[in-house]
């Protein structure tokens, strides 16, 4: 049994690294494939071993998925907001530092995960009844703050509303993977197209990083405490919305924002397993797959998952830094415009494959809005209206 668990952990780390490094290949896709062949796999593996694989893949993904966001400007739904500050650091030769900040955030999520798991054990049933009433107010307040902090408030409001209507249309369509064309266009393809147009070149990367003080970590730490538990408990809320709520309530600089993204990305996913155990409700795709494999987690299985999350987080932290250091040493030898073009083609093909030609059409619209936002000079955080406005309407 132990050997089987070790194999599941290693394969999960490998799969999470693959899904993290290749934009558009999401953990939910791998999980769905695993479920479709689970009858055959259960001949050789226990259901819990498959669960271990899913947990290992998911946690590893939350560490490694920031790498393509920095080096390619190609995000997934969990890293969309950190693309701009991360890519800016890359363009001044500090791409490795950007990934390091995200990885630090993800490892900080570990003690927070155990703190909130302990709190949830006592308070979660009562909290769950109150939060749906609080969430719309928090999101509306956060949205107003985001718009008011813009220099051109009218332009910011216009882009926020436009992205919101775009999100409503796509999320209420029949697309099988609606977030893929929506977020890939708004935050990925738009930046890639402009980098190709402007013939961006990447300077030599500095493999050193500035030391972090407790004071620098304090604000993203506090912001994540406010936002992450909310998004772990309630449906329709992800780490992107958590980052918006946290960063609008507590002032953060660009580096602190990257740390916050790392924290909420890992913490929201990890807490979804706690919510699954305590409430038997699923809040993430990974939790859905775990529930399909084991409808009711036992206390022993849940404690084993907690232990596995610790192991995977530590391994993933060092693995992410190794990969980032390797890419930092090679990136300036690559024709970046060509790399951006190849990445754009790959993302386009993935969108067509998983979201059909209608999805590709929405991908083009989303890319156009993303380009408009960049050229307008507004904060691209406002493009999160694509998820915030549908979420507000959902809870109201």
Helix axes 95-148, 299-330, angle to 10 degrees: 110
Higher pLDDT among residues 186 and 237, named by residue: 186
Structure tokens, 253: 């600089």
User: Residue 139: its pLDDT value, please?
Assistant: 78
User: Residue 177: its pLDDT value, please?
Assistant: 74
Highest mean pLDDT among 66-75, 162-171, 215-224: 162-171
Distance CA 54, CA 247 (A): 30
- Using the 8-state DSSP alphabet, how is residue 202 labeled? P
Lowest mean pLDDT of 75-79, 170-174, 197-201, name the range.
75-79
Structure tokens, 319: 């693995």
User: Residue 147: its pLDDT value, please?
Assistant: 84
User: Residue 249: its pLDDT value, please?
Assistant: 73
Q: Is the pLDDT of residue 80 over 80?
A: no
Domain count of the fold of the chain = 1
% of the chain with per-residue pLDDT over 90: 18
Per-residue pLDDT reduced to its tens digit, 8-67: 999 999 999 988 887 666 676 677 678 777 777 777 888 899 999 999 999 999 999 888
| pLDDT band, very low/low/confident/very high, at 321 (cuts 50, 70, 90) | very high
Per-residue pLDDT reduced to its tens digit, 103-134: 999 999 999 999 888 888 887 777 767 767 77
Quick one: residue 346, left, alpha or beta (phi over 0 = left, psi -120 to 50 = alpha)?
A: alpha
Distance CA 205, CA 334 (A): 12
Range of the domain at 357: 2-203+210-395
Picking from 76, 51, 57, the residue whose alpha carbon sits closest to that of residue 15 is 57
User: Residue 308: its pLDDT value, please?
Assistant: 93
| pLDDT band, very low/low/confident/very high, at 342 (cuts 50, 70, 90) | confident
Residue written as tokens 């408990």?
233
Per-residue pLDDT reduced to its tens digit, 250-272: 777 778 888 888 888 888 888 88
Nearest 5°: CA angle at 42, between 36 and 46? 125
Distance CA 390, CA 396 (A): 10
Contacts of 358 (CB under 8 A, 6+ apart): 173, 175
Lowest mean pLDDT of 77-91, 173-187, 315-329, name the range.
77-91
């Amino acid at each position: 049994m132990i050997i089987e668990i070790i194999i599941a952990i290693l394969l999960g780390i490998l799969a999470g690294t693959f899904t993290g490094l290749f934009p558009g290949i999401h953990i939910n896709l791998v999980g769905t494939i695993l479920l479709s062949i689970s009858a055959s796999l259960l001949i050789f593996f226990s259901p819990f071993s498959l669960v271990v694989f899913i947990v290992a893949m998911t946690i590893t993904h939350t560490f490694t998925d920031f790498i393509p966001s920095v080096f390619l400007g190609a995000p997934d739904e969990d890293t969309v907001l950190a693309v701009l500050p991360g890519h800016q650091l890359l363009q001044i030769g500090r791409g490795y530092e950007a990934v390091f900040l995200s990885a630090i955030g993800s490892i900080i999520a570990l003690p927070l995960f155990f703190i909130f798991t302990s709190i949830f054990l006592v308070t979660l049933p009562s909290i769950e009844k109150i939060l749906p009433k609080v969430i719309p107010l928090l999101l509306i307040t956060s949205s107003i703050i985001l718009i008011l902090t813009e220099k051109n408030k009218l332009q910011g409001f216009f882009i926020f509303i436009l992205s919101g209507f775009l999100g409503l249309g796509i999320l209420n369509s029949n697309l099988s993977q609606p977030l893929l064309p929506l977020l890939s266009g708004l935050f990925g393809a738009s930046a890639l197209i402009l980098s190709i147009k402007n013939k961006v070149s990447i300077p030599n990367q500095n493999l050193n990083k500035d030391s972090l003080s407790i004071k620098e970590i304090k604000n993203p730490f506090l912001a994540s405490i406010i936002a992450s538990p909310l998004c772990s408990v309630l449906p329709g809320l992800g780490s992107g919305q958590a980052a918006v709520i946290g960063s609008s309530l507590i002032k953060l600089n660009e580096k602190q924002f990257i740390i916050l993204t790392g924290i909420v990305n890992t913490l929201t996913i990890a807490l979804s397993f706690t919510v699954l155990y305590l409430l038997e409700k699923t809040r993430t795709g990974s939790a859905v797959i775990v529930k399909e494999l084991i409808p009711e987690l036992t206390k022993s299985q849940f404690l084993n998952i907690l232990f596995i999350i610790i192991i995977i987080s530590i391994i993933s932290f060092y693995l992410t830094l190794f990969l980032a250091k390797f890419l930092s040493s090679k990136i300036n030898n690559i024709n970046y415009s060509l790399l951006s073009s190849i990445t754009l083609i790959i993302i386009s093909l993935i969108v067509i494959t998983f979201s059909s030609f209608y999805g590709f059409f929405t991908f083009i619209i989303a890319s156009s809005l993303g380009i408009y936002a960049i050229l307008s000079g507004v904060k691209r955080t406002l493009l999160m209206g694509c998820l915030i406005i549908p979420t507000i309407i959902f809870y109201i």
